[in-house]
Structures are given as C-alpha cells and as structure tokens.
Amino acid sequence: MSASDTAVAVAAVAAVAAVRPHGAPLVRDAVPADYPEIRRVIVAAYLQYAGLIARDVFSPYLADLLDLDTHARHGHLIVVEADGRIRGFGAFYPDASAQGLGWPPGWASGRALAVHPDARGHGVARAMIAAIERLARESGAPVFAFHTASFMTDAIALYDRLGFRRAPDFDVDMAAHYGGTGAAPITAHAYLRQLAPARATCA
C-alpha cells in the first residue's frame, strides 16, 4: 500500500469516526498493539464454525484470517470499538486480487471481517462494512467485493439486507483453496457492489 493510499485510508476512517452518532460503535485504524485483541475477536467469531467443516480445512482457514501481517502488508486494518473494547475487525484491500481468491485487479475488497459474539446485534458489523466500503469508494475502485462462507447464515442475511449482489462467477471452493484432502466442497459466496466512478478533480 503506497503512502498516498495510506493517507487516503486514514482520512476516510477518521471521517467515519468524526460523524458517528453519540453511543455508536467507534471505527478506527488498528495499530500493532491491537493485534492480540484482534486475534481474540477473530477466534471468538469463527470458532463456532469449527465443527461444520473438516479440520484440515478449518485450521488453515483460521490461520489465514489471523495473519494480520499479510493483511496489513496488502491493505489497511481497522477495528470497531464498543464500550471501550475492540469488538470488531476487518481488513480493507485496495486491490482485491492480492487475496488470491480470483478477484479482478483493481477491485477493492474486505477481508477477515469478524465481530465478537457478545457484540452481535449492536451495529458493529454494519459500522465495519460501511467503513470498508467507504475506503473502497475513496480509493476509486469500481467494485467493492468480498466472500462469506455458505455456513455463515447470519452474515449472508445481513449482506442481503444491505443490498449487496451475489456474484456466483467468483464463488470459491474453500476446501480446495485450503487444501482439504478429500473434503466435501465448501462454497465461499461472492458478493459485490458496483461503486460510482470517482469524480475527476480539477488540476
């Protein structure tokens, strides 16, 4: 991520935080000191799915989600705080193709969205998605896209309510992607939103 991209991302997240209603979740940039708590949130959010898929798929899947250094190298990490604690996390990728999941170059994406189970139903996920989508718009990407696993029914319902469109051509078999030996296919559903072209600025 270039210095100018980072500056845009920081400014966009700051703008989201500046206009939040009183009592609403706080969206802010993640810093390395947050990493232990972010990993605890990710584990708490995803551990409930461990029994739904084969261990040799779930283990590398979780390790991928927890690889904050890779997410930070390719993108921008943000957290959502509620009651002074980190309750949500997401990574913004200005170039979705860096994820290696088949997205076209130039699209923007979210990655590793996680909300602590204790904080669900309090607007944390909505705040995170809105912040990441705003970063995508600020970056000038034509499309904001992401995947969610077929067994994450609550997340799928949320994305449907928020008006994201299914894009089956970009679905991914998680079992094949994470190297599960003989594991049954597990679909990661692709969702996207077409973004308005960035307005040209005067020289």
Instruction: Give, in degrees to the nearest 5, the angle at Cα 151 between 148 and 154.
Output: 75
Tell me, what's the pLDDT at 25?
A: 86
Tell me, what's the pLDDT at 20?
A: 46
What residues does 144 pair with on adjacent strands? 108, 193
Q: What is the pTM of this model?
A: 0.83
Tell me how far the alpha carbon of residue 95 is from its chain's centroid.
13
Q: Which pairing describes strands 108-115 and 143-149: parallel, antiparallel, or unpaired?
A: parallel
pLDDT exceeds 70 at position 199: no
DSSP state of 141: -
Residue-averaged pLDDT of the chain: 87
pLDDT exceeds 70 at position 1: no
Would you put residue 129 in left (φ > 0), alpha (ψ -120 to 50) or beta? alpha
**pLDDT band at 121; cut points 50, 70, 90:** confident
Tell me, what's the pLDDT at 19?
A: 42
Q: What is the pLDDT of residues 77-103, one digit of tens each?
A: 999 999 889 999 999 999 999 999 999
pLDDT exceeds 50 at position 123: yes
Tell me, what's the pLDDT at 8?
A: 43
Q: What is the pLDDT of residues 25-36, one digit of tens each?
A: 899 999 999 999
pLDDT exceeds 80 at position 9: no
Q: What is the pLDDT of residues 131-155, one digit of tens each?
A: 999 999 999 999 999 999 999 999 9
Q: What is the pLDDT of residues 161-198, one digit of tens each?
A: 999 999 999 999 999 999 876 778 899 999 999 997 65
Would you put residue 5 in left (φ > 0), alpha (ψ -120 to 50) or beta? alpha
pLDDT exceeds 70 at position 10: no
pLDDT exceeds 60 at position 75: yes
Tell me, what's the pLDDT at 57?
A: 92
- Measured CA to CA, the distance from residue 170 to residue 102 in angstroms comes to 7
Mean local confidence (pLDDT), 99-117: 96
| Range from 61-65, 118-122, 175-179 that averages highest in pLDDT | 61-65
- Measured CA to CA, the distance from residue 123 to residue 192 in angstroms comes to 20
- Measured CA to CA, the distance from residue 21 to residue 28 in angstroms comes to 15
Tell me, what's the pLDDT at 23?
A: 61
Beta carbons within 8 Å of 95's beta carbon, 6+ residues apart: 74, 105, 106, 107, 108
- Measured CA to CA, the distance from residue 192 to residue 128 in angstroms comes to 16
Q: Which two tokens stand for residue 116?
A: 């602590």
